Structure 1
Amino acid sequence: MGAKRFLSALFVFLCLLGSSAIPGKNLRARRPCKRMVFYFHDIIYNGKNSKNATAAIVGAPAWGNMTILAGQNHFGNMVVFDDPITLDNNLHSASVGRAQGFYLYDKRDIFTAWLGFSFVFNSTEHKGSINFAGADPLMNKKRDISVIGGTGDFFMTRGVATLMTDAFEGEVYFRLRVDIKLYECW
């Protein structure tokens, strides 16, 4: 009888050893349940482009103004945006939704921002939204932010979005490539 208990206990121990009870073990090996790539196009209002601007400076440091980003690293500026999302890098391609939210430039000595936004979809393929939040160290070629939830087709989803600046023109236009990897899909 003692040998059976020992073998049963050993079996349970080995099962636990191979489970996700070990921090980080299976998370690195996990594959995403859904992966998508989108582009969003940000056109900042500069006092002259009101017909096509999709973003506006809504907060500026005391020395700044609301039509020109603050000096070095844009520290203190807060921008609200409602940008088109496309499946390719062409601004004039069919929009599959809108990227809506804000970013604020949050460091004086390094060009970096903090993002909080949602992809709100209006296409036949996707309904609902995906929510994102996190630091965006803009000088890095690739940077990750958290996927913190969603609605509709993306109800309670979690994951990581890898951002890459795909193009920029001065301080008025930039395009981000967003590679979304979802690890919790409902």
Structure 2
Amino acid sequence: MSSKHTMQLLQILVSSALLLVGAAAARKTTTTHIKFYLHDIATAVPSSPATAVRVARGVTPLPVDPAFRFGDMFVIDDLLTEGPNAASPAIGTAQGFYIFASRTDFTLMLSLNMVFTAGPHNGSTIAVLARDAILDPVRELPVVGGTGAFRGATGYGLLRTYSGNLTTFNAVVQVDMYVRARASATH
């Protein structure tokens, strides 16, 4: 083999190795755990305006509570805070909607974007699309994407009702997000 061919082969091997190293680095992911609280206020009270508004009314009353109906749809812009108290530092909002998707119980179809407006994730979002059986003690919801530091995210969130009132349908939900995203993702 001539030295010219040897040099070309060496260049191809080095280029291939660099591409493989670059591809492996691009695939490197990190898992981030974020704990916060979501404040869902369906019935306004003097100290808190409604953050969940019914925009569609279903036809069939739910047997567990006739005030709610299969097909009821709420649009939300819920406060996200560091602690369970609404006066805790705000870190963002949960924007989206939920629909009562069961004819027999309190099970929602939930679609929301968690929009971070403060703290280390400011400017990033996490998208969730899931079934949420709101009376279960712990609900697992999949992460289907994100932006900013969470671009291309996967993972899950564990939701626990911290406090709630089935008469007013107001709740504070503890959220533990476990989000995997590329380590090199930037804003």
The residue identity in structure 1 corresponding to 2:36 is: F
Structure 1 counterpart of 2:34, from 33, 36, 56:
36
Post-superposition Cα deviations, 1:32-69, rounded to whole Å, max 9, x if no partner, equal: 711111111011146x76961111000102478xxxxx
Structure-2 change in CA distance of 1:94 and 1:55 (3 Å):
same
Aligned match of 2:156: 160
> SS state of the match for residue 125, structure 1?
helix
**2:95, 2:112 within 8 Å by CA — same for their partners in 1?**
yes
2:88 aligns with one of 93, 96, 106: 93
Which stretches in structure 2 are left out of the alignment for 5+ residues? 1-29
Kept in 2, the 8 Å contact 1:74–1:111? The answer is no
Provide the residue aligned with 2:12 in structure 1: none
Higher strand content, 1 or 2:
2
Structure 1 runs of 4+ off > 6 angstroms? 48-51
Distance 1:175 1:119 in 2: 15
TM-score (norm 1): 0.72
3-state SS of the aligned residue for 2:90?
coil
Q: What residue ranges of structure 1 are gaps of 5+ in the alignment?
A: 1-31, 65-69
TM-score normalised according to structure 2 size: 0.72
> How many residues align structurally?
150
How far the C-alpha of 1:179 sits from its partner, in A, is 0.7
Please tell me whether Structure 1 or Structure 2 has the larger radius of gyration of its CA atoms: 2
